[in-house]
Structure 1
């Protein structure tokens, strides 16, 4: 009996010693392509560090946005690493003390050895780094090359050319602009680019910082351009009934011609359509306004209540590496945040060239704006698309909300 107990205890000790240390990652990468690409990164990490086991919990993107606040505010942490967005969205949690600074990730090498110096401000708060960027991407007007060739259409450079293009498409029985606004961030993309084209980046930054009244005449001008497209019936009908991916199916099937969207639209495109997708820079509205674009940055944070911060830091060091960023960028056609990684294909090179040639970039409305204001604003954009004649009252109501939220 003693011998049996001795053997049992020895086996128990051995099994305990062999137990792997867990790192829990909560992820919003729920679309098949990014989910697969991230899963392969996790496998590479576990091969390099066999003492660790990564457990990935994946949530639908919109659900994740709601759940994250609950996880971060909980007395006991449920995740060691979470996916999220750079900019105001990250700073919001940093200000509240809900995420941990990650200086340890860069203890052995400087930030600039990993990432562009220009990225540091959008990944920091109070001179401390809280965010590891993984990839970034551009927004453009995506279209089917074969459809444009069939109808003899060219990429428009100006607003007048864009309107002519939309009218030609409509006369040919094709919806000019696909969009799905069941979740309102897609409409926010239209607001952003129109404001950047009409009023420029400095004005846009002041607006998203709560420093510009929403009923300012300059902002009204943005909605007047937007209203031209709505009044002429250029947007997909009943678009509030569709999620963004569902709106994209109209483009993929050739029933709609264009979709103003981020590069990740290629993640959900059928294999036979991917190579037929191209994009052009959103047209010039006011020639006196320099060209500015949107380039959101995605990446990772460590919750302040993370159970395994040591493991989380090790994982983020891996995520920051050239090896990890190059693979993820190549798999998805993204632009890696790591400065050593070149664009993975011609499509990405074109996107990078467009951004390099621009006069400046913004993140995205709900990433640059106070989260409460962003939610109110995006819902207002949807209301405007459904009832464009109400724009004055909508903007007056937004201005009341701005004063309340920013106390200005």
Structure 2
């Protein structure tokens, strides 16, 4: 099938990195035979930003049963190149996410069944076990942390301007109008890497069409060119005039800086946004959020997007016992406590983790998750990797570039979906 122009691959540094991802793991620990792979556990990590990379190193230092070698790759490069990575000679253990994509790799026999490890796991909630399992009940993923997606803002700015948290979409739009009148950018926005606007699509679809439809759509069972999806983009088009301009050239970190500097009023993102506030003594505790407001009272606002991060084990690890031992360590509250203490933008998956030092923001996030009726992962975790990365990401960027062309964009998405999900 011929790809439309907005889906054609772009060559450059990223393309080179994607092609080379499968061999970087071997390069990281040496290919000369000087490494005894039966004694070293290799770990592939996508924790490339400064704060999570530091936290990851501290957590790995707590595992002393075996020597480890960590291979860190740029987060987006790792995510987009994961299939080639797994089909080559991957690290023994690697960072990944719960959801459709984890199960997809299990179905393709690219990862190990770790049910035997789970038999010794303590303190992990049943919901986390379910999120880590295949449809036939095998455990293939070890969760460590999670974080909600929400609409973040600086309480001091809201107090200065007399703003209050909106409870409905109409109230939010009225707040956006007021912020614009006050000379603020109502909504910080980034779309450079394609995944950032997926969060906006997810929340709009969940609020307009509901959780069951959302999951079915991402699984390829609904029409992307149908009225229900078009309604999502119609509502999104109403929001775009309030969004930060030139989003296609902006990273989430750059958008977060506009919120930090009080140039923007709100930012829909994951709680990892807090990483950009951590270095500021003036602002590090000046961050709060409200959940994405209700749009349809019949649907409500009781679904929260809360991606679960964790680890998977390669289908054929060089150090099998070391890999199992590491996976069990990664399930412990001690490991999660190190990550969360170093990076408070996360919440531990283990119910045994220490919450005594959680910030007000973390405690609020825990409460929101506990009260949620359903929890979604994220578009690029709840759908096929090739569909999310090569079809939906570019399609959302095309919509942001030209919102009046949505019929043509969705027609192309539906054709691509049919090809990928039936091939």
TM-score, normalised relative to structure 2:
0.86
| Alpha carbons 2:58, 2:338 under 8 Å: kept | no
Distance 1:229 1:104, change over 3 A: same
Matched, 1:97 2:109: yes
Residue number in structure 1 paired with 2:260: 252
**Aligned CA-pair RMSD:** 1.9
| Alpha carbons 2:259, 2:266 under 8 Å: kept | yes
The 2-side partners of 1:322 and 1:115 are apart by 9
Matched, 1:243 2:251: yes
Counterparts of 1:56-205 in structure 2 under 5 Å?
56-74=70-88, 77-107=89-119, 109=120, 113-125=122-134, 126-205=136-215
Distance 1:19 1:398, change over 3 A: closer
| Alpha carbons 1:116, 1:339 under 8 Å: kept | yes
Q: 2:337 aligns with which of 299, 311, 326?
A: 326
The 2-side partners of 1:279 and 1:19 are apart by 46
After alignment, is 349-358 or 191-200 more displaced?
A: 349-358
The 2-side partners of 1:287 and 1:274 are apart by 35
After alignment, is 113-122 or 145-154 more displaced?
A: 113-122
The 2-side partners of 1:99 and 1:328 are apart by 24
Residue number in structure 2 paired with 1:286: 296
The 1-side partners of 2:398 and 2:271 are apart by 26
Aligned positions, number: 381
Q: Deviations over 1:73-104 (max 9, x none)?
A: 12xx3411100111111112111111111123
Matched, 1:366 2:377: no
| Alpha carbons 2:153, 2:288 under 8 Å: kept | yes
After alignment, is 373-382 or 128-137 more displaced?
A: 373-382
Counterparts of 1:206-355 in structure 2 under 5 Å?
206-230=216-240, 233-269=241-277, 270-272=279-281, 273-291=283-301, 292-333=303-344, 334-341=346-353, 343=355, 344-355=358-369
Q: Deviations over 1:256-295 (max 9, x none)?
A: 1111011111123233322111111111111111321101
Residue number in structure 2 paired with 1:54: 68
| Alpha carbons 1:101, 1:129 under 8 Å: kept | yes
Distance 1:402 1:66, change over 3 A: closer
- Is the partner of 1:57 in helix, strand or coil? strand
The 2-side partners of 1:396 and 1:237 are apart by 26
Identify the structure with the greater helix proportion. 1
Q: 1:26 aligns with which of 44, 49, 55?
A: 44
Q: Deviations over 1:213-244 (max 9, x none)?
A: 012212211111100011xx211111110111
Segments of 5+ residues of structure 1 without an aligned counterpart are 1-15
TM-score, normalised relative to structure 1:
0.89
Q: 1:39 aligns with which of 57, 60, 63?
A: 57
| Alpha carbons 1:130, 1:301 under 8 Å: kept | yes
The 1-side partners of 2:193 and 2:147 are apart by 20
